[in-house]
Amino acid sequence: MRKAVTFVFMCVFGLIMIYPLIWLFSASFKSNEEIFGSLSLWPKEFLWNGYQNGWKGSGQYSFGLFFMNTFKLVLPTVFFTVVSSTLVGYGFARFQFPLKRLFFALMISTLMLPNAVVMIPRYILYKNLDWLNSYLPFIVPAALATNAFFVFMLVQFFRGLPRELDESAKMDGCNSFMILVRILLPLAKPALFSAGIFEFIWTWNDFFNSLIYITSVKKFTVSLALRMALDNSASIAWNQVLAMSVVAIIPCILVFFFSQKYFVEGIATTGIKG
């Protein structure tokens, strides 16, 4: 009985959580009148042109260009974030150097800073470097391990791995870099995939920073393009906007479901199994 109640509760809770996505998908086939005038999920009349017309975008740029721009921004940012955070986390976890505690405390303290505090100085810096209206304000900081959250997460992971692994590798002739590549990284898949998933979703959905640093429509990301679709039309075809919203969330869903094996797998258990 307890298992049955738990199963029913989880099913109901899951339907409540997924209901907005179901409504979003069904509303992409409805007219404006039905979207605002009916609570039914099933459309009375299917409008199949929402995806086709929505993909055309507005003006001379289609959503195909906006998706390519988003991938050009997101993929390098995710790659450099994972690589740089891994190197810095490995250094803090495995090496001793002067002022290590001070540098680690300074890194952690950046987590306490609200984004509004650093927004203006960061904008002035990027303006002086002539990086505005480009993707460099996202890619270059990612390559320099500026996200303390991922660095701290990987530091904690590396600290949980026994140092005997390093000593055994040294006896086999491995240097510090080879220890990281051949011994620790295969065990770090859950942490690396978690960092990659978080960074992918956060960067893909980022609207505020993209709005600040990107000014040319030709370089707009999907989030900016969706907002632009609401500004350029006197009469908004909401089924087109919702259709492009459905398409926009597909990459995030695919990334999560293809990587969830490593995302939910226990880090300590993986280290033992490896």
Categorize the per-residue pLDDT at 264 as very low, low, confident or very high, splitting at 50, 70 and 90.
Answer: low
Categorize the per-residue pLDDT at 38 as very low, low, confident or very high, splitting at 50, 70 and 90.
Answer: confident
* DSSP summary character for residue 90: H
Q: State yes or no: pLDDT of 266 exceeds 50.
A: no
Chain-centre distance for alpha carbon 111? 18
Average pLDDT, the chain: 87
* DSSP summary character for residue 29: T
What confidence tens digit (pLDDT) does each residue in 126-173 have?
999 999 999 999 999 999 999 999 999 899 889 888 888 888 888 888
* pTM recorded for the entire structure: 0.87
User: Tokens 């339907």 sit at which residue?
Assistant: 15
Task: Between 163 and 267, name the one with better pLDDT.
Answer: 163
What CATH class is the domain 48-273?
mainly alpha
What confidence tens digit (pLDDT) does each residue in 178-234 have?
999 988 998 888 889 889 999 999 999 999 999 999 999 899 999 999 888 776 656
Q: Given this model, what pLDDT does residue 272 score?
A: 42
Tell me how far apart the alpha carbons of residues 197 and 258 are, in angstroms, rounded to a whole number: 10
Categorize the per-residue pLDDT at 53 as very low, low, confident or very high, splitting at 50, 70 and 90.
Answer: confident
Quickly count: other Cβ atoms within 10 Å of residue 238's Cβ: 20
For residue 77, give every residue at least 6 positions away whose Cβ sits within 8 Å of its Cβ, in sequence order, or none.
135, 138, 139, 142, 199, 203
Q: Given this model, what pLDDT does residue 165 score?
A: 86
Tell me how far apart the alpha carbons of residues 38 and 156 are, in angstroms, rounded to a whole number: 51
Domain ranges of the chain: 1-47, 48-273
From the number of C-beta atoms within 10 Å of its C-beta (0-12, 13-18, 19+), residue 146 rates as: middle
From the number of C-beta atoms within 10 Å of its C-beta (0-12, 13-18, 19+), residue 210 rates as: buried
What confidence tens digit (pLDDT) does each residue in 67-126 have?
999 999 999 999 999 999 999 999 999 999 999 999 999 999 988 888 888 999 999 999
Q: Given this model, what pLDDT does residue 174 score?
A: 86
Length of the chain as a residue count: 274
* DSSP summary character for residue 61: B
* DSSP summary character for residue 135: S
Tell me how far apart the alpha carbons of residues 25 and 18 are, in angstroms, rounded to a whole number: 11
Categorize the per-residue pLDDT at 265 as very low, low, confident or very high, splitting at 50, 70 and 90.
Answer: low
* DSSP summary character for residue 235: S
Q: State yes or no: pLDDT of 27 exceeds 50.
A: yes
